[in-house]
Amino acid sequence: MGHAESAALFVRDDERTHWHDQALWFVRQKRDAGARSVPDWEALRERAEAIKAHTQSRMAEYLEEFERNATRLGATVHWARDGEEHNRIVHGLLQARGAKLLVKSKSMLTEECHLNPYLEARGIEVVDTDLGERIVQLNHQPPSHIVMPAIHMKREEIGVLFHDTIGTQAGLTDPKALTEAARQHLRQKFLGATAGMTGVNFAIAETGGIVVVTNEGNADMGTSLPPIHIASMGIEKVIPRAEDLGVFLRLLARSATGQPVSSYTSHFHGPRRGSELHVVVVDNGRSALLREAGFRRALACIRCGACLNTCPVYRRSGGYSYTWLIPGPIGSTLAPGRDPAAHASLPFASSLCGSCTDVCPVRIDLHHQLLAWRREIVARGLLPAGKRWGMRLASWLLRFTWLYALAGRAARFFLRVLPPAWTRGLSGAWGRQRELPVAPPESFRELYRRTRGQP
């Protein structure tokens, strides 16, 4: 099922569609206020873009520098070509230490690798500890948003879910009470965990450190107690220097939620005393994307989610309408690079309004990339037959004046003589939610000729 078909299911619930739209727009407005509070916002964005472009041009060197420095600090760096190798490495580390309970903080990469089912099938309990992620995990769903994983759920639904899964009283809907229940539930998991896992927001080549950002403190709880911390990062997370963080951190939280900075910006330089730190560096298609001159800018993404919150299509179709686990404009540019056939509908899930590009803190030209992907999809013959023939027909129609005039005449005739229900049906998707216009007595060309002479 492509995006349009899934979105059609989502928008069946009109009230929920508007609620979802408003919830995301609220976050977009907070982002605007956050951005406006910084006088040098545009200069920051340009600098962030340039630092990412520079990093891409020397990425191998910086990855090696990171590995060297991280190793010097006592961390162990592992390399994984794909998700399967990543999972094997993580499982191997856990198995060798007899770890049975893994507490995990937010990591879209481990979602991408399908780590949870891999470990669960091998007898390891994995607990997602970010509140939103825990909610969707208990609900057996993937995140529907990269920053707010449970944004699609209403408090009443979460109340029922918590009642069924963690034993809260029935009918609980107050976010404060629900969060408190989750705190108590997850506190026990933190205290019982034998391993902690996090994603990586930034890996600093110069110092060999990794930076993990959360508001809840779950990454910190999860790495302060167990004897092993495993951090998974895509190769694109590396940045040259610690001072570059000043640029990215001033942009990240403001773009994500409008906060001036996240509550916890944790810098791990080597393992905690008496524990281990393992960093798994994952490619999984990223180096292939880096090769694509037209599309590599998407690798600069710092996962703030601003493009989702502003996207008129995401806001009204929800995260699960997308065929890739990262939804919204950034997901729709990244996904076709992995598998154009599987994600052929995503570049079309956009109005090309350009709002995503305007809010992107690292200035990825998202809507241009979506348009470029449409060309690729067409060139590779992956357009659905209906659309392909429609476009071919339109191309003929626009190429021959006589055919265009004839079609116009026919359209005006049928609009006049056929019942509206029929013509709406004939106009395809356009007519589904719209009345067709009243047919004018003459075409524009006829009108022009009559009043101004020859066109």
Contacts (CB under 8 A) with another protein, residues 82-121: 85
Q: Judged by CB under 8 A, how many residues of this single chain contact another protein?
A: 96
Q: Which is nearer to another protein, 94 or 256 (CB)?
A: 256
Shortest spacing between CB 31 and another protein, in angstroms? 13
| 283 sits near another protein (criterion: CB under 8 A) | yes
By CB under 8 A, the residues from 232 to 251 that bind another protein are 235, 240, 242-247, 249-250
Touching another protein, residues 157-186 (CB under 8 A): 158, 175-176, 178-180, 182-183, 186
Contacts to another protein from residues 8-37, by CB under 8 A: 23, 26-27
The answer to whether residue 208 forms part of the interface with another protein (CB under 8 A) is yes
- Residues forming beta bridges with residue 103, ordered by sequence position: 127, 196
Closer to another protein by CB, 51 or 307: give it: 51
Structure tokens at 231: 């951090």
Three-class HEC string of 301-365:
CCCCCHHHHHCHHHHHHCHHHCCCCCCHHHHHHHHHHHCCCCCCCHHHCCCCCCHHHHHCCCCCC
Q: Which is nearer to another protein, 180 or 339 (CB)?
A: 180
Q: Which is nearer to another protein, 116 or 266 (CB)?
A: 266
Q: Which of residues 46-85 bind another protein (CB under 8 A)?
A: 47, 50-51, 53-54, 56-60, 63-64, 73-74, 79-81, 85
197 in helix, strand or coil? Answer: strand
Nearer to another protein, 8 or 242 (CB): 242
Given the complex with another protein, which of 7 and 300 has the nearer CB atom?
A: 300
Distances (CA, A) of 47 to 41, 246, 318: 10, 11, 32
The interface with another protein within residues 309-348 (CB under 8 A) comprises none
Can residue 217 be called a binding residue for another protein (CB under 8 A)?
yes
Residue of the chain from 90, 279, 290, 362 that contacts another protein (CB under 8 A): 290
Element (H, E) at 282: strand 276-282
| Interactions with another protein, residue window 369-408 (CB under 8 A) | none
Closest by Cα among 428, 400, 423 to 412: 423
Which value, in Å, is the radius of gyration of the alpha carbons in the chain?
26
Contact call for residue 128 and another protein (CB under 8 A): no
Amino acid at 32: D
Closest approach of another protein to the CB of residue 4, in Å: 27
Q: Residue 123 — left, alpha, or beta (φ > 0 → left; ψ -120 to 50 → alpha)?
A: left
- What CA–CA distances, in Å, run from 452 to 405, 442, 444, 447? 19, 15, 12, 8
